[in-house]
Amino acid sequence: MEHVVIIGNGISGVTAARHIRKLSNKRITIVSAETDYFFSRTALMYVYMGHMKFEHTQPYENWFWEKNRIELKKGFVESIDYSSKKLSLSGGDQFTYDKLILAVGSKPNKFGWPGQNLKGVQGLYSKQDLDLMEENTSRHKVDRAVIVGGGLIGVEMAEMLHSRNISVSFFVREDRFWGNVLPLKEAAIVGRTLE
Ligand SMILES: Cc1cc2nc3c(=O)[nH]c(=O)nc-3n(C[C@H](O)[C@H](O)[C@H](O)COP(=O)(O)OP(=O)(O)OC[C@H]3O[C@@H](n4cnc5c(N)ncnc54)[C@H](O)[C@@H]3O)c2cc1C
């Protein structure tokens, strides 16, 4: 039976798996290093602010995967040999595929700034970043935070930190919030609210 392997258990990988299952009987495996189960990344901020528990961000019940014959493998894909169609996971496990889908998402951008890897400097993308933010702002007392990047994630982080009474300086390169996306009028409304 043809084996489809999907790297990434985010919305792209999971949507691909669901559609392939609807259309076929192929063997499907999703590999991800981040979490055991698919979760809604957009809800991470609500977990930090105490509106939801992490378990509540999972769009599907845990039985969904077995019922739909979608195998889940936790692991980080370190290398891919495209000629022999073989994946190697960190830790040494290897397995083969017939078709491979890369649904590997994104990561926070850094630009080689001095100090960018010091303790207390972080991005917000993954579940691990959320845990780190909790660690950086709760386990250690923090009064002030600086956010570099005036877009969607930056403003979410500002709200998250604000909810813990941490005062925020928000660095926005453009002349207005999310300047490369929002029209002037809308950006001005958000800007006024931010101020
Ligand atoms: C805080 C935050 C808030 C957001 N809010 C919104 C919003 O309100 N509205 C909106 O539309 N979008 C929002 N987004 C963007 C949205 O979440 C992403 O566009 C979406 O998650 C991308 O989905 P994806 O499946 O392509 O990738 P991802 O969700 O990034 O999934 C990729 C997965 O692949 C895994 N992976 C990568 N490389 C490997 C490897 N080598 N081995 C194993 N696993 C690997 C990653 O760990 C990850 O789990 C937000 C993003 C963030 C971070």
pLDDT tens digits, residue range 7-65?
999 999 999 999 999 999 999 999 999 999 999 999 999 999 999 999 999 999 999 99
Task: Determine the residue of 5, 32, 35, 161 to mutate for testing ligand 1's pocket, defined as the one with the most ligand atoms within 8 A of the Cβ atom.
Answer: 32
- Round to whole Å and give the CA distance between 10 and 101: 12
Domain 3-102 and domain 127-194, same fold? Reply is yes
pLDDT attached to residue 118? 95
- Round to whole Å and give the CA distance between 187 and 124: 22
**Does the Cβ of 6 fall within 6 Å of ligand 1?**
no
- pTM value > 0.75: yes
Q: What percent of the chain has pLDDT over 70?
A: 100
Residue 140 above 90 pLDDT? no
Atom 10, ligand 1: residue with shortest CA distance: 42
Residue 126 above 80 pLDDT? yes
3-102 maps to CATH 3.50.50.60:
yes
Residue 132 above 90 pLDDT? yes
Which atom of ligand 1 approaches the CA of 156 most closely?
A: 1
pLDDT attached to residue 180? 86
**Does the Cβ of 77 fall within 6 Å of ligand 1?**
yes
The number of residues making up the chain comes to: 195
pLDDT attached to residue 141? 82
**Does the Cβ of 105 fall within 6 Å of ligand 1?**
yes
Domain map (residue ranges) of the chain: 3-102, 127-194
pLDDT attached to residue 38? 98
CATH of 127-194, one of 3.50.50.60, 1.10.3720.10, 3.30.420.40, 3.40.50.300: 3.50.50.60
Whether residue 62 contacts residue 37, with contact meaning beta carbons closer than 8 Å, is answered with yes
